[in-house]
Amino acid sequence: YGAGGGYGAQQGYSEERSSARRVADHYSARSNQTLEERENSPIIHLKKLNNWIKSVLIQLYARPGDCVLDLACGKGGDLIKWDKAKVGYYVGVDIAEGSIKDCMTRYNGDTDQQRRKKFSFPARLICTDCYEARLDEYLYEDAPFDICSCQFALHYSWSTEARARQALANVSALLRPGGIFIGTMPDANVIIKRLRESEGLEFGNSVYWISFGEEYAEKKFPASRPFGIKYKFHLEDAVDCPEWVVPFHLFKLLAEEYDLELVLMKNFHEFVHEYLKKPEFTELMRRLGALGDGRQDQSTLSQDEWEVSYLYLAFVLRKRGQPPTQ
Ligand code: SAM
């Protein structure tokens, strides 16, 4: 990595577009599950654990009345979490048309699973590529935001340097000084370690597999080419599409170029161990049922699901500058 860019050859623009489209089509095609289908999912406890981690991040960093930007919001699975945090306004953006439609249905309380009171905050939903579009042009009337969230999606921006930069430029342009950026994404250190421990270019267990192409046969990743390191990711009942490695130390340096300073980075295992000690989050875990009785073990999460959670990390960044005085 070197300041100012220039990281070797970029992929062709159209190839890039089609990769983003593949990701979008994959998520667009995923239909809403019934409650029964969800409870029977082989990764139901992992999904609950992921929801617990996102809830903890939101409870730690969102404040009542906050203006929220949810990048790659998907089907709006976090709307209830934001409602519990009593936020004042919500903008969700996603590239997948199908997901934005489902998100709108969920916001309007129209689904069977969603027989609940309406959300207490107004919302706006936008369908676009968050890593290509200049979001400040769409959102100049809504900005600045107090908090931005990008859950399980920022790695889709690391296919090229231009996209990774556009992602961070969008966050930086739209957050107020002192605003917070929370997120979750794959932990490149763990993925590369697992790859090097495996015999071939594939590894996984009963619920996931990751596969690298022959171009990585030597399992070497030169620091001069940190973008576009593609692998295929399959997670039962969830994901089946190309993803990109995000070397975290370079992500941190790149974010600094956009005035975003690192506050926290924890692998999910460390995150669980640390925050499960806090009574309010133990109680939340008990209610969600991810770890059975809320003990710090895997009493209901299977060993294979627990291994998948080790592939992820949570991060928090803060936009430089002083928050405006109230
Ligand atoms: N954030 C949601 C959550 O936690 O439930 C959804 C996570 S899902 C694993 C990843 C999401 O990223 C999908 O909804 C997908 O459409 C979205 N996504 C991928 N690439 C994107 C892009 N370039 N711009 C906007 N959204 C994107």
User: Ligand 1, atom 20: nearest CA belongs to which residue?
Assistant: 156
Q: Using an 8 Å Cβ cutoff, are 72 and 156 in contact?
A: yes
Q: N- to C-terminal Cα distance for the chain?
A: 40
Ligand 1 mean position, distance from CA 249 (Å):
23
Between the alpha carbon of residue 269 and those of residues 176, 251, 253, 296, 324, the distances in Å are 31, 20, 24, 10, 36
Distance CA 301, CA 293 (A): 11
Mean of the per-residue pLDDT values for the chain? 89
Residue nearest to atom 10 of ligand 1 (CA): 153
State the pLDDT at residue 17.
67
Confirm or reject: Cβ of 99 under 6 Å from ligand 1. Answer: yes
Closest CA to 260 of 194, 195, 190, 318: 318
Read off the tokens for 92.
Answer: 């969700």
Token pair 């002192």 is found at 178
- The per-residue pLDDT for range 183-212, each reduced to its tens digit, is 999 999 999 999 999 999 999 999 999 999
Geometric angle at alpha carbon 151, from 111 and 305, rounded to 5°? 85
pTM as predicted: 0.92
Check if 72 has its Cβ closer than 6 Å to any atom of ligand 1.
Answer: yes
Tell me the pLDDT band of 1, cut-offs 50, 70 and 90.
Answer: very low
Model confidence over 253-291: pLDDT tens digits? 999 999 999 999 999 999 999 999 999 999 999 988 877
Predicted confidence (pLDDT) at residue 82 exceeds the cutoff of 90: yes
The protein residue with its alpha carbon nearest to ligand 1, atom 9, reads 152
Asked if residues 107 and 85 have their Cβ atoms less than 8 Å apart, the reply is: no
Please name the helix (run of DSSP H) or strand (run of DSSP E) that holds residue 195, with its range, or none. helix 188-197
Ligand 1 pocket: which of 21, 32, 38, 95 to mutate (most atoms within 8 A of CB): 95
Q: What pLDDT is attached to residue 3?
A: 27
Using DSSP bridges, classify how beta strands 202-204 and 208-212 pair: parallel, antiparallel or unpaired.
Answer: antiparallel
pLDDT reading at 11 higher than 60: no
Q: Which tokens in the block code for residue 31?
A: 């239909």
User: What integer pLDDT is reported at residue 212 of this predicted model?
Assistant: 97
Contact 179, 324 (CB under 8 A): no
CA distance to 11, 138, 251, per residue, from 14 (Å): 8, 24, 25
What ipTM was assigned to the predicted interfaces of this complex?
A: 0.99
Using alpha carbons, select from 179, 273, 125, 266 the residue that is nearest to residue 285: 273
Q: 263, 254, 227, 229: which is closest to 57 by C-alpha?
A: 263
Q: Is 125 in the pocket of ligand 1 (CB under 6 A)?
A: no
Would you say the CB of residue 164 lies under 6 angstroms from ligand 1? no
Q: For helices 13-29 and 97-107, what crossing angle results, to 10°?
A: 40
